Amino acid sequence: MSTSKTITFTLFIATLLSPCNAATNATTQPLFPAILIFGDSTVDTGNNNYHSQTIFKAKHLPYGIDLPNHKASGRFTNGKIFSDIIATKLNIKQFVPPFLQPNLSDQEIVTGVCFASAGAGYDDHTSLSTQAIRISDQPKMLKSYIARLKSIVGDKKAMEIINNALVVISAGPNDFILNYYDIPSRRLEFPHISGYQDFVLQRLNNFVRELYSLGCRKIMVGGLPPMGCLPIQMTAKFRNALRFCLEQENRDSVLYNQKLQNLLPQIEASLTGSKILYSNVYDPMMDMMQNPSKYGFKETKRGCCGTGHLETSFMCNAFSPTCRNHSEFLFFDSIHPSEATYNYMGNFLDTQIRVWLEA
């Protein structure tokens, strides 16, 4: 781990173990006027509920069971997801609504929305199999959002909000799971994973530049988690009865993240006035897996829903048994973290964002 990553990760551990973290000490003044979220199911707050063609939806229990109303909302976990937790910690709002939700209030529009879609990836090929809203199409939603925002606050104020909003991008795992590892549809074109990583990163590069052209300036881009430790990936590897993490897939994630960390400063340097943050999700998730008791976790190799080996989306449903204590499981289903995990990730990334703002 590099020196800067070590310092940041040390800050993460200190934040988690301190009884009084940055969010507690923060004033009630929002750090950003709005939050705008793009990506996949890790940040989708319910857009797929309103997009009839999408395969992956979370509008049924046990998803949402720990939300205040105990109802499924389209979030792929038992409670809040990362989008909501970051928005809360930055004093913007408690829950980030999906842009496709009907009848959004003016206030919800002004403080930001989510454009993400479960099953999406940077590679358009990914959405062919999932029927998700392609990431390359999510800027079209942003254009519609800006038009609505301008009708509420006027052109000048609207662009001030867009220029100063926190833009969160979280995607990538679906590209590798659905196109390379489990369904090798891209392997003929890219026989080596490194080549496909470069292709995905070029798509990411184009996406960030398109958001910039629409006025986005403060952008946080998430890296890959330890892909080989996702329960569904352990299951996909036959004869893995002891459910070990797949080390090659983890090495692939590390290599991708290194390339992403090298790419983002280059993009920032070429886009005047932009400020781009690499969001490190790999290290904190790996620490939770290697030191689960430190976080109160008792299970890290399977999800809380059903067997926890395969269930996600429609396979994780009201007929699926769930674990008794959701906060003791790192994963809620076979792909998605539990709300407890998202809370720890939120603590870490809140610290990263505050350090980034002061830099």
Q: What tens digit of pLDDT does each residue of 284-293 get?
A: 999 999 999 9
Pick the range with the lowest mean pLDDT from 100-104, 119-123, 173-177, 180-184. Answer: 180-184
276, containing H or E segment: strand 275-279
Quick check: helix, strand or coil at residue 15?
Answer: helix
336 lies in some domain: yes
28 lies in some domain: no
CA distances from 256 to 50, 263, 276, 280 (A): 32, 10, 17, 12
Which pair of structure tokens corresponds to residue 111?
A: 């403080």
Classify residue 15: in a domain, yes or no. Answer: no
Averaged pLDDT, 174-194: 94
Joined together, the tokens standing for residue 45 give 């707050």
Q: Do the domain assignments include residue 236?
A: yes
Print the domain residue range for 185: 35-358
What pairs with residue 218 in β-bridges? 166, 275
* Number of structural domains in the chain: 1
The DSSP code for 204 is: H
114 assigned to some structural domain = yes
pLDDT at 66: 98
**Using alpha carbons only, how large is the chain's radius of gyration in Å?**
19
Report if residue 17 sits inside a domain: no
Average pLDDT over residues 266-288: 98
Residue whose C-alpha is closest to residue 255's, from 183, 319, 176 = 176
In the predicted model, what is the mean pLDDT of residues 265-275? 98
Omega before 173 within 30 of 0, i.e. cis: no
List pLDDT tens digits, range 99-136: 999 999 999 999 999 999 999 999 999 998 899 999 99
Q: How confident is the model at residue 197, as a pLDDT?
A: 98
Comparing CA positions, the residue from 314, 297, 315 lying closest to residue 306 is 315
Q: Are 32 and 109 in contact (CB under 8 A)?
A: no
Residues 357 and 359: their CA atoms lie apart, in Å, by: 6
Alpha-carbon distance of 124 to 137, in angstroms, equals 9
Do residues 337 and 345 make contact, with C-beta atoms less than 8 angstroms apart?
Answer: yes
Share of the chain above pLDDT 70, in %: 92
Structural domain includes residue 13 = no
DSSP, res 117: -
For residue 245, being part of any structural domain is answered with: yes
pLDDT at 148 over 90: yes
346 closest CA partner among 208, 220, 165, 259: 220
Helix (H, G, I), strand (E, B) or coil at 214: coil
Residue 243 banded pLDDT, cuts 50, 70, 90? confident
**Helices 193-213 & 247-270 angle (0-180, nearest 10):** 30
Look at the alpha carbons of 14, 82, 212, 267 in this order and tell me if their dihedral is positive or negative: positive
Element (H, E) at 177: none
Please name the residues in contact with 103: beta carbons below 8 A apart, sequence gap of 6 or more. Answer: none
pLDDT attached to residue 13: 55
Q: How confident is the model at residue 9 (pLDDT cuts 50, 70, 90)?
A: low
* CATH code, 138: 3.40.50.1110
Q: How confident is the model at residue 16 (pLDDT cuts 50, 70, 90)?
A: low
Q: What backbone torsions phi and psi does residue 296 show, to the nearest 5 degrees?
A: 85, 10
**Count of Cβ atoms closer than 10 Å to residue 315 Cβ:** 13
Q: So which residues are the catalytic ones?
A: 41, 333, 336
Exposure of 251 in the CB half-sphere (CA atoms within 13 A): 5
Q: How confident is the model at residue 1 (pLDDT cuts 50, 70, 90)?
A: low
